[in-house]
Amino acid sequence: MTDRLPHEKGFHVSWDQLHRDARALAWRLQGQGPGEDGAWRMVVAITRGGMAPAMIAARELDIRLVDTISVKSYSHQTQGAAEIIKTPDMDAVGDGTGVLIIDDLVDTGKTLEVVRALMPKAHVATVYAKPKGRPMVETFITEVSQDTWIFFPWDMALQYVEPYRGKD
Ligand SMILES: O=P(O)(O)OC[C@H]1O[C@H](OP(=O)(O)OP(=O)(O)O)[C@H](O)[C@@H]1O
Ligand SMILES: O=c1[nH]c(=O)c2nc[nH]c2[nH]1
Ligand SMILES: [Mg+2]
């Protein structure tokens, strides 16, 4: 086992940055819904990564109806087939009109492929997007290259690093 990750680039996101970017996403979505005054009816967070940005966006957009969909596809950084293991309340979702689906990021788009099939009329928004999955998302904030791994604050901890001098 190596302590280096098999990805060329890392994009490290702090809690503060995530909060700012999720609020920017909400700002972009505000008034774009199909309801009166462009309101959205409901938020569906894709667990687990979508829950933090969904909570922040729901707060900013004053949406009280929030549900989750659980999709399992990655084990660490290796992807398998995407599978829905828990659906939201489909009576509330209906055909998806006025529903905002929120995730932290789209990478290959496989997760969103199965989510979209369940709620075809919903609006899909992610905070971050990689080029391959970008066509699966209607609204996003920041794009990173396909060979970048995004590190989220819930997967990291502050730790001591050696100064540059003395490393070699
Ligand atoms: O576009 P894709 O290639 O499908 O990848 C994107 C998905 O992968 C990650 O979730 P993951 O399945 O790792 O689960 P988690 O949110 O519970 O960490 C991320 O949060 C997205 O949901
Ligand atoms: O934390 C993560 N960062 C990523 O870049 C990514 N891509 C798929 N799934 C991911 N999870
Ligand atoms: Mg996820």
pLDDT at site 79: 75
69-73, 83-87, 100-104, 160-164, range with the lowest pLDDT: 160-164
Identify whether the C-beta of residue 100 lies closer than 8 Å to the C-beta of residue 123: yes
Q: How far apart are the first and last CA of the chain?
A: 22
Catalogue all structural domains in the chain, each as residue range(s) with its CATH number: 14-145 (3.40.50.2020)
Instruction: Provide the b/e sequence for 114-148 (b: ≥16 CB within 10 Å).
Output: ebbebbeebbbbbbbbbeebeebbebbbbebeeeb
Looking at per-residue pLDDT, the higher value among 103 and 162 belongs to 103
Token pair in block for residue 151: 């590190």
pLDDT tens per residue, range 37-81: 999 999 999 999 999 999 999 999 999 999 999 998 877 667 778
Among the atoms of ligand 1, which is closest to the Cα of residue 79?
3
Q: Is 74 in the pocket of ligand 1 (CB under 6 A)?
A: yes
> Among the options 107, 147, 155, 168, which is catalytic?
107
Strand partners, 123: 100
Confidence of residue 1 (pLDDT cuts 50, 70, 90): very low
Q: Give the per-residue pLDDT at 164.
A: 84
pLDDT band at residue 8 using 50, 70 and 90 as cut-offs: low
Phi, psi of 37 (to 5 degrees): 60, 25
Angle between helices 15-29 and 51-61 (to 10 degrees): 50
**Could you give the percent of the chain with pLDDT greater than 90?**
81
Looking up tokens 């496989």 gives: 110
Question: What pLDDT was estimated at residue 2?
Answer: 42
| Ligand in nearest proximity to the CA of 145 | 2
Could you identify the residue written with the tokens 């399992």?
72
Q: Does the beta carbon of 74 sit less than 6 angstroms from any atom of ligand 2?
A: yes
The answer to whether residue 104 is catalytic is yes
Closest by CA to 51, choosing from 72, 28, 22, is 22
Q: Does the annotation mark 21 as catalytic?
A: no
Q: Tokens representing 38?
A: 């462009």
Residue type (1 letter), 111 = T
Verify whether residue 91 is a known catalytic residue. no
- Considering the entire predicted model, what is its pTM? 0.93
Taking residue 161's Cβ as centre, other Cβ atoms within 10 Å add up to: 7
